[in-house]
Amino acid sequence: MEGERILEAGSGAGRFTEVLLKTGADIFSFDYSIAVEANLTNNGNMPNLHLFQGDIFNIPFPQESFDKVICLGVLQHTPEPERAFRSLARHVKPGGELVVDVYKANFLSWLQWKYLLRPVTKRMNKDKLYKFVARVVPILIPFTRFLRTFLGRAGARLSPIIEYTHLGLPSEINRDWAVLDTFDMYSPAHDHPQSLKTVKRWFSEAGFDGTDVQYGSNGIVGRGKKLA
C-alpha cells in the first residue's frame, strides 16, 4: 500500500494506526476525542502520519480522495451509525476500499450485561464509574476465568466484566485491560448494534461492489470496493 492515501476514522490511542503506518502508505488518522494526543505520543515520530482531531460527520477533505478508508470499533458509538457510514463512503475513491466493523444486533446480544446495565452506567459520572469498575473488576476476574474454563466463551459472557486470561496475558496486563475494556463497555453515550442485513444494505446503497459482510470476532465486519 506504499504511496496510497488511507483515512483512519476513530483512531483512539493509535493501536491500529501503528499497523497502518508500517505499510508505507500516507495515513490520515483522526478521532473526535483527545485520544489523538495519546496517538501523537505513540506514533508521532512517523513521517507518514497526518493526525488531526475531527468529526466523522464533517471530515475536512474532498470527497473521493482516499484509496482506502478504515473505521474499526467506532460506528456503533456514533449517534447515527448509518450517517457516519455514508460520510466515510463518500471519501473513498472510485475503485477504492472501505472497511468497517460494528457490533451485531441479535436476540442474544441484547441479553448481554452491558445492555442491561447501560441505562444506568451511561448516565453516571465517568470518573465515579471508572473508580467503581477499577475496584470491582479485579474481584470478578477469578470468577469470570472459572466460568470460561468450564463453560467456554458462553460462560464468560455470564460475567458482567471482560477479561483476557485465556490469551495468556500476564496478570497485571490482564487486570489493566479488563478494567479499561469493561469501562469502555459501560461508559459510552451511544451503543447501537446493527444486523448483517442492515450493513449489507449500507454498502449496496453507497455504491460498493464485491462486498464481503460477515460475522467476526467483534461483531460484523464489512469490506467493499467502490464502483468506478
- pLDDT 10s digits, 71-99: 999 999 999 999 999 999 999 999 999 99
Extents of the domains making up the chain: 5-105+191-226, 109-186
Q: What is the fold of 5-105+191-226?
A: Rossmann fold (3.40.50)
- The predicted-structure confidence for 21-34, as pLDDT tens digits, reads as follows 999 999 999 999 99
CB 75 within 8 A of CB 84: yes
pLDDT given for residue 108 in this prediction: 76
Confidence of residue 110 (pLDDT cuts 50, 70, 90): confident
- What residues have CB less than 8 Å from 41, skipping those under 6 apart? none
d(CA 214, CA 99): 12
User: Residue 110 and residue 159: Cα distance in Å, rounded?
Assistant: 15
Q: What is the pTM of this model?
A: 0.90
- How far apart CA 112 and CA 160 sit, in angstroms, is 8
Which residues are CB-contacts of 56 (< 8 A; sequence separation ≥ 6)?
Answer: 9, 10, 32, 71, 74, 78, 84, 87, 88
